[in-house]
Amino acid sequence: MGKSIIEKIWDKHVVYEEEGKPDLLYIDLHLVHEVTSPQAFSGLRMKGRKVRRPDKTFATMDHNVPTDNRSEIHDKVALNQMTTLEKNCHEFGIPLAGIDSPDQGIVHVIGPELGLTLPGKTIVCGDSHTSTHGAFGSIAFGIGTSEVEHVLATQTIWRAKPKTLKIDISGTPNKGVTAKDIILYILSKHGFDFGTGYIIEYSGEAIRSMSMDERMTICNMSIEGGARAGLVSPDETTFSYITGRKFAPKGEELAKAVAEWRELASDDDAVYDKTIHINAVEIAPMVSWGTNPAMTSRVHERIPYLSDCKNEIERKSLQNALSYMGLTEGQRIDDIQIQHVFIGSCTNSRLEDLRQAAEIVKGKQVHSNVRALVVPGSQQVKKQAEEEGLHRIFTEAGFEWRESGCSMCLSMNNDIVPAGEHCASTSNRNFEGRQGTGARTHLVSPIMAAAAAIYGKITDVSEVMPEEAVK
């Protein structure tokens, strides 16, 4: 019987196992950011311990860095977390892409970009969207702060062996349908907890024809379905992305690594605990209308009716979501008015996301009721986008063009959506208060966000996209 990539990587990393207990897993890469690391470093200091493998650890600051004026940081909590991270990295010998570094950015954007994220690795970070790195064929998952301390001290972590779930996506996506729509569709169809206890492997022709940026978007949101991680078996697309990256293997070492990575891909006869099939033609541009990412519909649909709910629990949760969102049952999704647009976050702030959004925005103006932000995921993305002139397309249309960071994805910095206002956002979470107290989030793709910015309401991008923007 063949093995899946999940079992292959897992088995190679188990350093200790005992019947009925979690496995002790070796960790190849530990990514660190300013929010979930301070207590972990204090713990080490108190116990007089060192970081075991600073060379397998890499830090950046992203959650609360300002994305407008970098030179004056007024927020005391943010400033404290940033200087604490600098101090900790210096003391424990950990490489850091600090606020002034050309490598700074959202931790899940810079790992791949710098060639730190590689196939076959086990990767952890004190952050739930670590699943993003699975796009390269690695097992990557988020850990808690006490576990951050454990990994810093031992380079290992305790984890029960996961169940395996294969999501096979066939077919060619329709016009206006992106990787973001595919993952939102999966969530809308299977709920916010279908992945509990599983690591997902995404496969099928739709995945194979995706770029690395697109695969990252899909893997990123695995966690919104409750999964422990999500990944894609590596292939030529993966290897060519990695080639030439700053910390990736080079020359002969790379050739040797690629030969090993090829062996990692799941065997044709691998067996999974569960399999889900999806046909991409079922999918249209998607929009979340509720308060979890599974409360999502196709753009031309209506918000569900209370009378369609299967039970009282469902009815209550629909009622609560509608009241928080200021929407009514049966309302048309494309009637929702938008006051804010956020293009950014570890889901959709990479170069391709910005290129696609710019195609929609080119030569148009942001609607007068809308405030729109583009926040590149990293300084490298920002620089490349500027070299291509994308920043000019956005700013001429009336978008704000920012420095890299998590920004409006979560209300931990200055980029906040005011109470009661609606934001079309390319991020991954729409929980109550996520973008600010009382803020109303609609999760969409970058091109849907761009269309919302121009028309001031949720708009089916497939109807307004120029011919040259159709893939």
Ligand X SMILES: CC(C)[C@H](C(=O)O)[C@@H](O)C(=O)O
Q: Contact residues for ligand X (CB under 6 A)?
A: 35-36, 63, 127-129, 142, 410
Contact 138, 257 (CB under 8 A): no
The number of beta carbons lying within 10 Å of the beta carbon of residue 144 is: 12
Confirm or reject binding of residue 427 to ligand SF4 (CB under 6 A).
Answer: yes
Contact 218, 200 (CB under 8 A): no
Stretch that binds ligand SF4, among 71-79, 86-94, 156-164, 405-413 (CB under 6 A): 405-413
Chain-centre distance for alpha carbon 453 = 22
Confirm or reject binding of residue 223 to ligand SF4 (CB under 6 A).
Answer: no
Contact 266, 235 (CB under 8 A): no
Confirm or reject binding of residue 406 to ligand SF4 (CB under 6 A).
Answer: yes
Phi, psi dihedrals of residue 373, rounded to the nearest 5°:
-125, 140
- Picked from ligand SF4, ligand X, none, the partner binding residue 345 (CB below 5 to 8 A depending on kind) is ligand SF4
* Among the listed residues 34, 127, 224, 334, the single contact to ligand SF4 using CB under 6 A: 127
Q: Known binder of ligand: residue 346?
A: yes
> What does DSSP assign to residue 1?
-
Q: Known binder of ligand: residue 125?
A: no
Distance in angstroms (rounded) separating the CA atoms of residues 139 and 380: 25
Instruction: With CA atoms as reference, report the closest residue to 5 among 156, 166, 182, 113.
Output: 166
Pairing of strands 229-231, 198-203: parallel
Pairing of strands 23-26, 14-16: antiparallel
- Picked from ligand X, ligand SF4, none, the partner binding residue 367 (CB below 5 to 8 A depending on kind) is none
Q: Is 195 helix (H, G, I), strand (E, B) or coil?
A: coil
Confirm or reject binding of residue 180 to ligand SF4 (CB under 6 A).
Answer: no
Would you say 35 or 167 has its CB closer to ligand X? 35
Confirm or reject binding of residue 229 to ligand SF4 (CB under 6 A).
Answer: no
Restricted to residues 67-106, the positions that interact with ligand SF4 (CB under 6 A) are: 106
Confirm or reject binding of residue 34 to ligand SF4 (CB under 6 A).
Answer: no
Stretch that binds ligand SF4, among 300-308, 319-327, 379-387, 403-411 (CB under 6 A): 403-411
Query: What is the C-alpha R_g of the chain?
Result: 21
Confirm or reject binding of residue 64 to ligand SF4 (CB under 6 A).
Answer: no
Which residue numbers belong to the known binding site? 346, 406, 409
Which residue numbers belong to the known binding site for [4Fe-4S] cluster? 346, 406, 409
Which residues would be at the binding site for ligand SF4 (CB under 6 A)?
62-63, 106, 108, 127, 129, 345-346, 406, 409-410, 427-428
